[in-house]
Amino acid sequence: MSLIQLLPDHIANQIAAGEVIQRPASVVKELMENAMDAGATKIDVNIKESGKALIQVVDNGSGMNSADALLCFERHATSKVRKADDLFSLVTKGFRGEALASIAAIAHVEMRTRLESDDTGIQINIEGSKVVSNVEAVCANGTSFEIKNLFYNVPARRNFLKSNQVEFRHIQDEFERVALAHSNVHFTLHHNDSEIYNLTPGVLRKRVVDVLGRKANDRLVPIDESTEIVELKGFVLKPEFARKTRGEQYLFVNDRFFKSNYFNHAINKAFEGLLKERTFASYFLFLTVDPQKIDVNVHPTKTEIKFEEEKHIYSILLSSIRLALGKYNIAPTLDFERETTFDLPSEMRSKPINEPVIRVNPNYNPFDSNTSKVTSTGSKGKKSENFSDAINKHGFGTKEAKTADWENFYSIEDSSKEEETAPLIEEETTPGISQFLIKGNYIFTPSKSGFMVIHARRAYEQILYTDLINSFITNPVESQTLLFPLEKELSKNELASWKSNAMMLKQLGFVGEIKDNEVHLTAVPSVLQDETIQKALDRIIETIAHREIDKGEIAHELVHSIAKSAAMKKMNLNSMDAVNDIIERLFQCENHAYTPGNKQIIDTLSLESIDEKFR
């Protein structure tokens, strides 16, 4: 008789489970990640006794049909990887098909799931890998898991668990990591029936502040850098607020939390000389890289990740954080400058990235048909100065410029009827940072790699929006009392919506009394001016009464409405300082490329394409 025997499945599962599920927090992580992978926009986590009594995760994601609902508990059952190649382009959190099999092996599991297209769903109960019941169920679409008696059949593990306080801290950590990586998803966390978190969707800054606490809002220094190798976004905490523990160090790659001593080293180096003794930098950094260039397969719980280009990423982290900290210490500088001074490590300079070939003839006049074709080549400083000199000399900033050509170029769709053409500004002579205003609304500015065009009104809208959101998170928005209350008749539905949103409206600076079927507005946010109040009020009513959006989105929509109305006010861009101010404030916004309504704010015209135009 052979001495070797195959372990029965349930024992094999139980052993394997130990790798994936070490404590209640691991269950929370796996279930939340599955919910994310299922496309959920709302995820509720309920915990009792730090997960020792109950872990419940409810999502509104895709759900499963009854066949998949049974299959999902099998080891290596996954819908996320079909062929070996898929492993190299992972965009999902899970891919091993191990989590549910592991959880089912060591706990009592109840799962209810329903596809949106089905009338009924299915409820499955599993204990120690055995299906004990499998019935049709009436349930919400999406999936809900209830995990009880975790480690009931693995006493060693159960005895190994720490105090409730420690175990819950682990749960909260996992919850925060997922929540931080997905600020557009609504998450709640309850422990023993009390609410720990209710994180409504919003921009990343809001999510970070919601997790860290309101005070954090003023303490964050934004990081935003984009290179061919990595896109880097997020925040570091100003050095004077550094903590005595390493608690708040978050790194994410492609929205997945990971740990890296190596990158942590780069970040600390960027803080060198700025931190008090025995304090640690806090950071929330989001890297986006080509999924082919990382390996998430190295660790069963996937918190260690191998990067193909880790040396470059190290340098980029170091230099962009240093730069951001420097910028925050000195007066903020323009982002275009930042691009040119961005200090890439020398080994990367040799790589063929971001080095456009500029062909400029300083004597070339685009409006003079006799001028000969452009021939000189090069890419560094001197030549681009010549380029802007050439532009300056040849009238792009003067009334004679043939702006029509540029308009065609940019297909300027809405140069906004509300605005008149302002007189063009005489450019200052500083080469390289001159701005020109065209049609009172388009700011043209040379950048290293060409030309940037900024839609001023949209830029202003984004600036107001960001300011309002930031102050709204921490304080009521500043409001001004109206000399004469503004009266507006509302329908029944509109009145009801006004009443049910009165608290939020007040927080936003709108104070009104309801009299019969009218609202009498007595105060409005101070960013609004006489001519923009009415429009804002209309937009607000439209948002609260006529649009089908859930509560979480309303605040954002309202802030957006206020910003949009306030931006309608005629902007004073009649001085270089005013134009510079807009640019500077725009680039302090976390998102400076699009308005909250997703309209483009900035376009760039590369030197190559300008060159192409004149070929």
Binding site for Mg ion (CB under 5 A): 34, 94, 99
45 backbone φψ class: left, alpha, beta (φ>0; ψ -120 to 50): beta
Residue (24 or 94) nearer to Mg ion, CB:
94
Residue (95 or 187) nearer to ligand ADP, CB:
95
Q: How far is the CB of 98 from Mg ion (least distance, A)?
A: 8
Q: How far is the CB of 94 from Mg ion (least distance, A)?
A: 3
Residue (182 or 455) nearer to ligand ADP, CB:
182
304 phi, psi to nearest 5 deg: -110, 135
Tokens of 210: 């919601």
Taking CB within 5 to 8 Å according to partner kind, which of ligand ADP, Mg ion, none is near residue 396? none
The residue written with tokens 């997703």 in the block is: 598
With CB under 6 A as the contact rule, the residue among 18, 97, 300, 395 that binds ligand ADP is 97
Regarding 466 and contact with ligand ADP (CB under 6 A), the answer is no
Regarding 72 and contact with ligand ADP (CB under 6 A), the answer is yes
For the chain, the residue count is: 615
Regarding 80 and contact with ligand ADP (CB under 6 A), the answer is yes
Closest CA to 536 of 551, 557, 507: 557
**Residue 604: half-sphere exposure toward Cβ, Cα within 13 Å:** 10
DSSP 8-state assignment for residue 358: B
Regarding 77 and contact with ligand ADP (CB under 6 A), the answer is yes
CA distances from 422 to 111, 380, 397, 439 (A): 64, 34, 13, 6
With CB under 6 A as the contact rule, the residue among 26, 129, 143, 403 that binds ligand ADP is 143
Regarding 62 and contact with ligand ADP (CB under 6 A), the answer is yes
Q: How far is the CB of 156 from ligand ADP (least distance, A)?
A: 23
Regarding 202 and contact with ligand ADP (CB under 6 A), the answer is no
Taking CB within 5 to 8 Å according to partner kind, which of ligand ADP, Mg ion, none is near residue 537? none
Q: Which residue is nearest to Mg ion (CB)?
A: 94
Q: How far is the CB of 162 from ligand ADP (least distance, A)?
A: 25
How far apart (Å, rounded) are the C-alpha atoms in residues 590 and 90?
27
Residues near 249 by beta carbon (within 8 Å), at least 6 away in sequence: 264, 267, 280, 281, 282, 283
Closest CA to 103 of 157, 49, 176: 157
Q: How far is the CB of 133 from ligand ADP (least distance, A)?
A: 19
Stretch that binds ligand ADP, among 30-38, 150-158, 486-494, 586-594 (CB under 6 A): 30-38
Residue (32 or 289) nearer to ligand ADP, CB:
32
Q: How far is the CB of 151 from ligand ADP (least distance, A)?
A: 18
Burial (CB < 10 A; 0-12, 13-18, 19+), residue 566, is buried
SS3 350: coil
Regarding 99 and contact with ligand ADP (CB under 6 A), the answer is yes
DSSP 8-state assignment for residue 54: E
Regarding 24 and contact with ligand ADP (CB under 6 A), the answer is no
Residues near 260 by beta carbon (within 8 Å), at least 6 away in sequence: 251, 304, 305
Stretch that binds ligand ADP, among 78-86, 284-292, 544-552, 571-579 (CB under 6 A): 78-86
Centroid of chain to Cα 167: 29
Interacting residue ranges for ligand ADP, rule: CB under 6 A: 30, 34-35, 37-38, 59, 61-64, 72, 77-80, 94-101, 143
